[in-house]
Structures are given as C-alpha cells and as structure tokens.
Amino acid sequence: MANDSIEIKVCLGTSGSAAGGEEVLRLFKHHVQEQGVEARVGRRCSPSKVGCRGFCSKDVLVDVILDGSKTTYQLVTPNMVERIVLEHVIDGKPIAEWTVKEEYASFHAKQHKIVLGPCGEIDPESIDDYIAMRGYRAARKAITQMKPEEVIGQVITSGLRGRGGSGFGTGEKWRVCRGAPGDVKYAVCNIGEVNRPLAEGNPHAIIEGLLVGGYAIGAAKGFLYIRERYHRSVERLSIALEQARERGFVGRNIFGTGFDFEMEFSFGTEAFICGEETALMESIEGKRAMPRVRPPFPAYAGLWGRPTVINNAETFSNIPLIIGMGGEWFSKIGTATSKGTKVFTLSGKVRNNGLVEIPMGMPFREIVYGIGGGIEGDKTLKGIQVGGPSGGIIPTSMLDMGLDYEHLARVGSIVGSGGMVVFDEDDCIVNVAKFYLEFLQRESCGKCVPCRIGTKRMSELLTKITEGKGEENDLRTMERLAGVMATTSLCGLGRTAPNPFLTSFNHFRDEYLAHIREKKCPAGVCTALITFSVLAEKCKACGLCKRACPAGAITGAPKQPHVIDPEKCVKCGACYRACKFKAIKKA
C-alpha cells in the first residue's frame, strides 16, 4: 500500500467479531464511501479486516493510521464509526476519549511478538499482504536453495520445541521422520483451540510452515487437521490455501523445482482427545479418535502406517521465521533450553485478558502484573493454571519462576498448548481442581482404565471435599490414585490428568485441610461450606437484603437488625451483594 494512504484496520478475530466487528467494518466502508473520503483527502483509504491483536477485553479495536501515526480506538460500536470517519479520517483530529488507554501500551510493551506479529496488522484474507511481509520467501529459500537436511539443520539449530504440549525438539522429530524408511510420508498440522487466533490472523504462516516441513521430511502430502466447528479459522485457512495454490506455492512443481506438495483439510469433531497426535491420526483415517499404542511412533509408522510428522500450528508458524532469519537468530530468543516465544491466552482474574506472546523464560510476575496489568479489583493473586486443563497450578510463591519447559516440568506442570488462567483470593483451589478433573473425565476417550475410571473417581473425591464430606483419608486415596493414573495411563491425557489435583494439593494443602477438618471453604465458594449471617452491629435495617433474597429466608422489622434463617437460606449470596453496609457475613 502506498505510504500516504489512510489505513483503517478493524479487528475481526473471534472476539472482535463477537463484539460486532463485522458491522463496524461494514460501516467504515460505508462512511468512507459516502463521505467521499478518498476524493476529499486525495488519498487512498480502504478499511480492512485484521486478525486478533490480543487485547480482547476491549474489542472491537480499530486502528486508524494516518501520516504514519497509528491511533487505536477501543470498544468501538457501530454508532461511533461516523464520527471517527468525519473527525479523524477527514479532519485529522483523533477522538481522544475513545482511544486506548495506557494499559494497551503496557499490555504490548513486554510482549515479544514474532509469531503473532502480523496478526492484527495484515488482512488475513490477502496473500499479497502476507507476501508484502516477506511471506513465502522462507519457503522459496528452503525449496529452491536448501537441501532438506539443511532445512532440518536450521530447525535443529534454532532449538525450536513443539508448542503443542510435549515440547519435543521439532528438528529432531523431522530428522527421524526423514530418515525413516518409506517413500510415502505425511506432514500434519495440528490446529487446536488455542491456535485459532493464528489461523484467523495469519493463516499463510501455518501453510508456509507446513509446506517447509513437508519438504524437509520428504512428504508429498500435508493435512490441516482442525475441528470443523472453528468456522472462522477454517474459512480463513481455506481462503489462504486456495490463494497459495493459485500462486503455485502448493500443488505440483513448486517454485519450478519439481517438488510436489498437496495440502488438504481433515476435520475433527469437538473432542479434546482429537488433539492427541495418535488419536488425531485415527481421526484422519476416519476412525474414532482414540490414542494408539506406542511404539510404533508416528515418525516411523503414522498415518496409514507411513512415517508422519505432526506439529502444532504454532510450531509450524515459527518455521518461516527460522528459515527466513536463520536458526541462530531464533536461538537467541528465550532461555538456554527453551527457545523462542510462546503464545498464551491470558484469562481469569487478570485485568488485561487476551492473547499474548512472550519470550520463553519470562517470569510469571511479569506476565501477570506487567502484561496482565495485575489482578482485577486489586485482589490478591492466588495461583496461575498453566498448560491447559491438565496443567498445574503455580502458587504466588513461585511468581518469580520463568515460564519455560524445564521450570514447569519441575513443578509438575506443562507448557501445554497455551492456556493461562489467573485465580485470585475469591477462587477456591479445591473447586478449581474439581473443575479441571471433571473436564478431563468428560473428555477422556474411555479407552484405558486408569484414565476412564481414575478421572471419575478423582472428580468424585474432589466433589466430596467441596461438599464438606471429605475425610483425611480421601487425600491419601487421591495421591495413590494420582500415582496410578500418571504412570499407567495410555496417553498424555490420563498421564497428566492428576496434575491439577497434585499441584494444587502440593501448594495449597491448608485449603484442602480447611475443607476437610474445619468444614470451611476459605474462599467462600463451596456453597455447602458457607453460611450467611447478618452482623447485627453493622445492620442498618434498610431491608435491601430482605428484598433481594429469593428464598424468603430473611426477616426483620424496621430499625431491628435483620436475621437470616439458615434452614431457608439457599446460599445464593444475593443478600451479600445487595447489602451496602457490609453487614452480611459470609463464612
């Protein structure tokens, strides 16, 4: 695009769209045309969509780039569009009260966006935008100038490790697969829930990475494995694949080298286990997604028994950077053994929820307080769940630990595929562990005993504790069960399933014991263990609580302290929220 053109970028990631981004973009186009902006300012102006730039809590986000200076508006609604066009785009005066605040800058300042870089900058449906950002140059370089072994060498030098959970060395995996006997090989890109922003914001990077991977291992066919339900990701990737095919980057005789590489989609259903690589292969083959036994490993015998490399979409997205900039360059980011960056969805009780990319090794403190802007309502941080449902809970005392493969493994957690949930003093740790175990129980494929029945028994025991029926012996039973599950389950799901319990029990033993010995939930979450009562000395007899109570459990005459009948109370907490004088006690 010409330098003096006016750019308007509307976030149309999942969150941007959900917040009404489509309509905002339509109105921008409409007003730009109706006001005759191009004619009036004598410059090109075409509003475009971009992928997620991470700061999802303030969507719809809109960038207006005028004379090289970028202004970002937050929480843009359709009725704000006309004024932005008139005052800012035409008259050149940004509307200060609508622009992003300081937190937007601090949210981005500590991040290191190499993979997410183009997301939120380029139009994900335009291959020209991608090419303008050096897109497909890495693939061209790899395929026309490098031997497959050299490509693998660069990936090994980079130190890149899998971003899908296992953290296995990517170059090493490719080397083994390349060396595995067989003419027919496959490359598979595993596009999971957390990869959706990548697929929506910069789909070409995934395709380019898979293409280079296919070339490196000697495959002629690649699969983009994705849940059918991720409509926007599927749509953007399909458009990107079609464009790449038109330009000859996918198909026969790529870059005139005689290298053929086809790519096709394979759709999974909504099951967590579909992301596990051997279950994924079963799914591609048209069978029920249930993990296979290993050996044989996929690199030797994967899809239809052929050597297969499976990598996460984020792993593949790093490949064009590594080939383009060199493995050496990449290996300078991160720590000694964990190289590069990691994309996370930061959520929970943190101020700035969203999608972040940090260099490996960044301390949790910086993530939560620097990027995340601290805890909502200045409450106390309790812990951070990292690595998805079967990750571990990191307590406040470990805030200065760096986020990398080694440190997380040491505390019984995993980097996982990139979820990070922040809990504060109002979250009950037993309840949190129960939530994750229940999820894993539902998502277990049901094949092996320790996982299928173990997750059930563990969630039952956690439920028992949250209901105030727990006994100390239950804790020993759970530890014993955790040992069986972790050591004997067939796949990673069952093996990591005890993590939420083990790590939380390890770091929050007192909270477990409070539930069991004192029958109290310190965070005031477990309804069976809390009682609401009126503090007579603070009660002003205003009657608000009485009106709020849906169970008619509160009585009180005017000027008399009110009383809650514990028999009738359903523990909904309506009175607690209604009282203006903090006269309701929750204990």
Partner 1 sequence: MKHDMVTITIDGRKTSVPVGTTILAAAQQMGIHIPVLCHHPKLTVTGACRVCIVEIGGQPVTSCTAVAEEGMEVTTASPYIEGLRRDIVDLILSDHPYDCMVCERAGDCELQELAYKYSIRQPVFQGERRIYTKRDGNPFIERDMEKCILCGRCVKVCDEVQGVGAIDYAYKGFETKICPPFERDLDCEFCGQCIAVCPTGALVSKPSLGKGRKRNVNTVETVCPYCGCGCNITYDVVKNEVIRARSRQDTINEGWLCVKGKFGFSFINSPDRLTTPLIRKDGKLVPAGWDEALDLIGERLRKIRAADGPDAIAGLSSARCTNEENYLFQKLMRAGVGTNNVDHCARY
Ligand X SMILES: Cc1cc2nc3c(=O)[nH]c(=O)nc-3n(C[C@H](O)[C@H](O)[C@H](O)COP(=O)(O)O)c2cc1C
Among 196, 306, 339, 447, binds partner 1 (CB under 8 A): 447
One symbol per residue from 256 to 285: x for binding partner 1 (CB under 8 A), - otherwise; what is it?
A: ---------------x-x------------
Contact pattern for ligand X over residues 478 through 517, marking x by CB under 6 A = -------------xxx------------------------
Query: In angstroms, what CA-CA distances link 363 with 2, 107, 353, 354, 384?
Result: 41, 15, 18, 18, 12
11 to 70, contacts with ligand SF4 by CB under 6 A?
Answer: none
* Beta carbons of 387 and 412 less than 8 angstroms apart: no
- Tokens at residue 440, please? 């894993």
Contacts with ligand X, 271-310, as mask; x by CB under 6 A:
-xx-xxx--------------------------------x
- Residue 358's alpha-carbon distances to 26, 52, 296, 338, in angstroms, are 33, 16, 35, 12
* Alpha-carbon span 22 to 31, nearest angstrom: 14
Least spacing, CB of residue 291 vs ligand SF4, in Å: 4
User: 210-249 mask for ligand X (x: CB under 6 A)?
Assistant: ----------------------------------------
Q: Which among ligand X, ligand SF4, partner 1, none contacts residue 36 (Cβ within 5 to 8 A by kind)?
A: none
Query: Residue 166: which of partner 1, ligand X, ligand SF4, none does it interact with, CB under 5 to 8 A by kind?
Result: ligand X
Q: Which residues of 305-334 are buried (b: 16+ CB within 10 A; e: fewer)?
A: ebbbbbbbbbbbbbbbbbbbeebeebbebb
The encoded tokens of residue 476 equal 């020993």
Angle at 498 between CA 493 and CA 503, to 5 degrees: 125
- For the record, the structure tokens of 302 come out as 């994967």
C-alpha dihedral sign at 426, 430, 433, 439: negative
Binding partner of residue 487 among ligand X, partner 1, ligand SF4, none, CB cut-off 5 to 8 Å per kind: partner 1
CB of 343 to ligand X, least distance (A): 12
Question: Which residue has the CB atom at the shortest distance from ligand SF4?
Answer: 494
Q: Judged by CB under 6 A, which of 56, 237, 422, 445 binds ligand SF4? A: 445
Encode burial over 459-481: b for 16+ CB neighbours within 10 A, e otherwise. Answer: bebbbbbbebebeeebbeebeeb
Pick from 494, 499, 437, 441: which is nearest to 276 by CA? 494
CA distance 509 to 529: 17
530 forms part of the interface with ligand SF4 (CB under 6 A): no
Q: At what angle do helices 499-507 and 472-488 cross, to 10 degrees?
A: 140
* Least Å from the CB of residue 169 to partner 1: 21
- Choice from 229, 252, 294, 568 touching partner 1 (CB under 8 A): 294
Task: Report what 417 binds from ligand SF4, partner 1, ligand X, none; CB cut-off 5-8 Å by kind.
Answer: ligand X
Query: Can you list the alpha helix ranges (DSSP code H) found in 254-401?
Result: 277-284, 313-325, 327-331, 364-365
Minimum CB distance to ligand X smaller for 273 or for 530: 273
Distances (CA, A) of 146 to 91, 151, 217, 309, 407: 52, 6, 13, 20, 35
Of the candidate residues 54, 169, 291, 348, the single one contacting ligand SF4 (CB under 6 A): 291
- The answer to whether 452 contacts ligand SF4 (rule: CB under 6 A) is yes
Kindly give, in sequence order, each residue whose CB lies less than 8 Å from that of residue 346, ignoring residues fewer than 6 positions away. Answer: 352, 353, 354, 355, 356, 367, 371, 372, 420, 422
Q: Which is nearer to partner 1, 288 or 509 (CB)?
A: 288
Q: Which is nearer to ligand SF4, 315 or 489 (CB)?
A: 489
Using DSSP's 3-state secondary structure scheme, residue 359 falls into strand
**DSSP-assigned beta bridge partners for residue 350:** 375
Q: How far is the CB of 288 from partner 1 (least distance, A)?
A: 6
**Beta strands, E only, 67-114:** 69-73
In whole angstroms, the minimum distance from the beta carbon of 526 to partner 1 comes to 19
In the list ligand SF4, ligand X, partner 1, none, the entry touching 184 (Cβ below 5 to 8 angstroms by class) is: none
**For ligand X, which stretch binds (CB under 6 A), given 156-164, 210-218, 379-387, 544-552?**
156-164
Q: Which does 310 bind (CB under 5 to 8 A by kind): partner 1, ligand X, ligand SF4, none?
A: ligand X
Out of 148, 159, 165, 412, which residue is the one contacting ligand X (CB under 6 A)? Answer: 165
Q: At what angle do helices 499-507 and 509-516 cross, to 10 degrees?
A: 90
**Is residue 502 within a helix (H) or strand (E), and if so which, with residue range?**
helix 499-507
Indicate the residue among 248 and 446 with the shorter CB distance to ligand SF4.
446
* Choices 299-307, 398-406, 445-453, 568-576 (CB under 6 A): range interacting with ligand SF4: 445-453
Binding region for partner 1 (CB under 8 A): 271, 273, 288, 290, 292-295, 441-450, 452-457, 460-461, 477, 480-481, 483-484, 487-490
Binding region for ligand X (CB under 6 A): 162-166, 168, 170, 190, 192, 272-273, 275-277, 310-312, 315, 417, 491-493
Binding region for ligand SF4 (CB under 6 A): 273, 291, 444-448, 451-452, 489-491, 493-494
